[in-house]
């Protein structure tokens, strides 16, 4: 059965397919994930009881390379969501032109309710269940919402034990001493940051006049807020899953990060050294943050935040989607009519998977890059693909998401044509062509 999120994902595919030069058979193939695995993961809890968790891993499409995509630990994980996220990974890898298809995984769990040892047992148990479904040449997981480098390290170790061979290339986003890459930690945010820097040039922005609101203060949200703050942008609103803070003069972002990471509380603070004091700010909800009068809105949390219910009230003229799927299909139309520029998730947050690709290359070659080399290679890809998508948007007079899909579908189409399409196989003199080509 096709759920609501996946239906929305397919609606965007259909919209873009009408513009792209792609064979209808290839579009049809993209509508169906290649394989979906559901597993039960028994975990012995600290109090001695046994708890069974449900997990998924989906391979969406592997025409352009092994499937690639993160693993999410969240109470709202569902097969429908994992399928959609895997689909977006196929499109995302094609947008930035890295040789991967799309995959995704997830476990239904609230990791905040687990002890550290329970979390390790769950992470290893999940890999035990999906080990034959993943591999360095077939499907390569990575971190996603509520999973991190340490969890990737445990998962790599578990997989290596199962196959009896050290296999760092099976998973990316690992800690650096366990084969991780320099620069993978802030890569998702950095990719979005490079997009903003390109927009800054196009729109002649003076950073100190640009007000930014960031929804979600995990990995991506913290790093982007910090990078923009360093460049002089005014980060005026920040939220986490419990709510947000708003301050028209802007926040001292490093202080807010310091307190959040030490106390788990999001507080309006200014710190000098280790001494922090509260500064004046307004408490807001996540919904209010989205509707603030700011210049850039950065959703960096979960999907379905900007919907047909609140889209008309969104004031930000520019939205940078660091989360996957924060805007629904209907909301896109409303914002498009208002002239809002949305840099879509499949481009804006592609920095993460791009550095994952660099990590995988380093693991396979056994030669490790410097941070400078990672930044340089990431910037080159992001700037090139951002500008290409922007030019497609202008030439097709469409929104930037549709432009990114067109670009991705054209890349997918090149691979489809190389394998032979309906047009090729329906020709009568197929054998003659083959023989001629071989002689
Ligand atoms: N979870 C990230 C994403 O959605 C990264 C995936 C990866 O590195 O493979 O793009």
How many Å from the N-terminal Cα to the C-terminal Cα in the chain? 49
Q: Is 84 in the pocket of ligand 1 (CB under 6 A)?
A: no
- The domain that holds 197 is classified in CATH as 3.40.50.720
| 106 in Cβ contact with 55 (< 8 Å) | yes
Residue ending a domain, choose from 309, 326, 348: 348
Torsion region of 314: left, alpha or beta (phi above 0 gives left; psi -120 to 50 gives alpha): beta
Nearest one of 400, 418, 427, 395 to 198, comparing CA atoms: 400
**Confidence (pTM):** 0.94
The C-alpha atoms of residue 286 and residue 61 are separated, in whole angstroms, by 34
Looking at the structure, do residues 249 and 309 belong to the same domain, yes or no? Answer: yes
| Known catalytic residue at 308 | no
195 assigned to some structural domain: yes
Q: Regarding beta strands 101-108 and 71-74, do their DSSP bridges make them parallel or antiparallel, or are they unpaired? A: parallel
User: Which of the 8 DSSP states describes residue 164?
Assistant: T
State what percent of residues in the chain have pLDDT above 70.
97
Please give the number of the atom of ligand 1 that sits closest to the Cα of 145.
Answer: 1
395 burial (CB, 10 Å; 0-12 / 13-18 / 19+) is exposed
What number of H helices and E strands is found in the chain?
Answer: 16, 15
397 assigned to some structural domain: no
The structure tokens listed for 317 are 């003229």
Q: Is 402 in the pocket of ligand 1 (CB under 6 A)?
A: no
Residues near 310 by Cβ (< 8 Å), separated by ≥ 6?
287, 290, 291, 331
Torsion region of 187: left, alpha or beta (phi above 0 gives left; psi -120 to 50 gives alpha): alpha
Looking at the structure, do residues 214 and 136 belong to the same domain, yes or no? Answer: no
65 assigned to some structural domain: yes
Looking at the structure, do residues 246 and 324 belong to the same domain, yes or no? Answer: yes
Among candidate residues 15, 34, 68, 104, the one labeled active-site is 104
Supply the residue whose CA is at minimum distance from atom 7 of ligand 1: 353
- The domain that holds 77 is classified in CATH as 3.40.50.10860
- Quote the pLDDT of residue 26: 84
Distance 85 CA to ligand 1 centre (A): 9
Looking at the structure, do residues 206 and 326 belong to the same domain, yes or no? Answer: yes
Q: Which residue has the tokens 């690639």?
A: 68
62 assigned to some structural domain: yes
Per the structure, how many domains does the chain have? 2
Looking at the structure, do residues 269 and 322 belong to the same domain, yes or no? Answer: yes
Looking at the structure, do residues 209 and 297 belong to the same domain, yes or no? Answer: yes
Q: Which residues pair with residue 135 across a beta bridge?
A: 139
173 assigned to some structural domain: no
Mean per-residue pLDDT over the chain, rounded? 95
Looking at the structure, do residues 100 and 218 belong to the same domain, yes or no? Answer: no
The C-alpha atoms of residue 75 and residue 342 are separated, in whole angstroms, by 28
Q: Is 69 in the pocket of ligand 1 (CB under 6 A)?
A: yes
The structure tokens listed for 266 are 């999001």
The C-alpha atoms of residue 298 and residue 228 are separated, in whole angstroms, by 11
Distance 437 CA to ligand 1 centre (A): 41
Looking at the structure, do residues 197 and 163 belong to the same domain, yes or no? Answer: no
Instruction: Please state, as a whole number, how many other Cβ atoms lie within 10 Å of the Cβ of residue 86.
Output: 32
Residue-range definition of the domain harbouring residue 90: 33-168
Residue ending a domain, choose from 315, 348, 381: 348
Residue ending a domain, choose from 330, 348, 366: 348
The C-alpha atoms of residue 168 and residue 48 are separated, in whole angstroms, by 32
The C-alpha atoms of residue 431 and residue 259 are separated, in whole angstroms, by 70
Q: Is 70 in the pocket of ligand 1 (CB under 6 A)?
A: yes
The C-alpha atoms of residue 243 and residue 287 are separated, in whole angstroms, by 9
Q: Is 147 in the pocket of ligand 1 (CB under 6 A)?
A: no
Burial of 325-359, coded b for 16+ CB within 10 Å and e otherwise, reads bbbbbebbebbbeeebbbbbbbbbbbbbbbbbbbb
Looking at the structure, do residues 87 and 155 belong to the same domain, yes or no? Answer: yes
The phi and psi torsions of 234 (rounded to 5 degrees) equal: -100, 105
203 assigned to some structural domain: yes
The C-alpha atoms of residue 241 and residue 260 are separated, in whole angstroms, by 12
Looking at the structure, do residues 197 and 133 belong to the same domain, yes or no? Answer: no
What is the separation of C-alpha 323 from the centre of its chain, rounded to a whole number of angstroms?
6
The C-alpha atoms of residue 366 and residue 417 are separated, in whole angstroms, by 34
241 assigned to some structural domain: yes
Looking at the structure, do residues 202 and 342 belong to the same domain, yes or no? Answer: yes
Supply the residue whose CA is at minimum distance from atom 8 of ligand 1: 353
Secondary structure element (H or E) that encloses residue 406, with its range:
helix 400-419
Going residue by residue through the chain (439 aa), what tens digit of pLDDT does each one get? 578 889 988 999 998 898 887 888 889 989 999 999 999 999 999 999 999 999 999 999 999 999 999 999 999 999 999 999 999 999 999 999 999 999 999 999 999 999 999 999 999 999 999 999 999 999 999 999 999 999 999 999 999 999 999 999 999 999 999 999 999 999 999 999 999 999 999 999 999 999 999 999 999 999 999 999 999 999 999 999 999 999 999 999 999 999 999 999 999 999 998 899 999 999 999 999 999 999 999 999 999 999 999 999 999 999 999 999 999 999 999 999 999 999 999 999 999 999 999 999 999 999 999 999 999 999 999 999 999 999 999 999 999 999 999 999 999 988 888 888 777 888 765 555 555 555 5
Looking at the structure, do residues 130 and 198 belong to the same domain, yes or no? Answer: no
206 assigned to some structural domain: yes
| Residues in the chain, overall count | 439
What is the separation of C-alpha 85 from the centre of its chain, rounded to a whole number of angstroms?
8
| 342 in Cβ contact with 332 (< 8 Å) | yes
- Quote the pLDDT of residue 42: 98
């Amino acid at each position: 059965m096709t759920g609501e999120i996946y239906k929305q994902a397919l609606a965007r595919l259909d919209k873009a397919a009408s513009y792209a030069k792609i064979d209808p058979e290839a579009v049809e193939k993209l509508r169906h994930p290649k394989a979906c695995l559901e597993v039960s993961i028994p975990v012995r809890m600290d109090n001695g009881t046994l708890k069974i968790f449900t997990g998924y891993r989906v391979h969406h499409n592997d025409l352009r390379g092994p499937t690639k995509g993160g693993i999410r630990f969240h109470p709202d994980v569902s097969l429908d969501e994992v399928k959609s996220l895997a689909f977006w990974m196929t499109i995302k890898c094609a947008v930035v032109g890295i040789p991967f298809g799309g995959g995704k995984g997830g476990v239904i769990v609230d990791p905040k309710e687990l002890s550290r040892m329970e979390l390790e047992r769950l992470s290893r148990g999940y890999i035990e269940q999906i080990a034959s479904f993943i591999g360095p040449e077939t499907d390569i997981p990575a971190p996603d919402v509520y999973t991190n480098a340490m969890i990737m390290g445990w998962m790599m170790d578990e997989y290596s034990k199962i196959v009896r061979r050290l296999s760092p290339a099976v998973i990316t986003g690992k800690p650096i001493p366990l084969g991780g890459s320099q620069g993978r930690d802030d890569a998702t945010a950095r990719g979005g940051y490079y997009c903003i820097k390109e927009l800054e040039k196009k729109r002649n922005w003076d950073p100190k006049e640009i007000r930014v609101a960031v929804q979600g203060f995990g990995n991506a949200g913290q790093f982007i807020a910090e990078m923009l703050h360093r460049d002089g942008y005014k980060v005026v609103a920040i939220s986490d899953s419990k709510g947000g803070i708003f301050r028209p003069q802007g926040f001292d972002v490093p202080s807010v990060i310091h307190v959040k990471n030490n106390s788990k509380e999001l507080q309006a603070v200014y710190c000098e050294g280790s001494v922090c004091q509260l500064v004046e700010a307004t408490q807001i909800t996540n919904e209010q943050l989205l509707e603030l009068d700011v210049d850039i809105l950065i959703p960096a949390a979960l999907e379905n935040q900007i919907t047909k219910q609140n889209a008309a009230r969104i004031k930000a003229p520019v939205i940078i989607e660091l989360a996957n799927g924060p805007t629904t299909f209907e909301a896109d139309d409303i914002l498009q009519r208002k002239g809002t520029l949305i840099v879509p998730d499949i481009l804006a947050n592609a920095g993460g998977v791009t550095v994952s690709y660099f990590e995988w290359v380093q693991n396979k070659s056994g030669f490790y890059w410097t941070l400078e080399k990672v930044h340089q290679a990431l910037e080159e890809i992001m700037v090139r693909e951002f500008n290409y998508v922007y030019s497609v948007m202008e030439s097709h007079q469409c929104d930037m998401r549709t432009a990114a899909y067109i670009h991705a579908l054209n890349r997918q189409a090149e691979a489809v044509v190389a394998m032979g399409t309906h047009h090729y196989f329906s020709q009568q003199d197929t054998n003659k062509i083959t023989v001629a080509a071989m002689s």
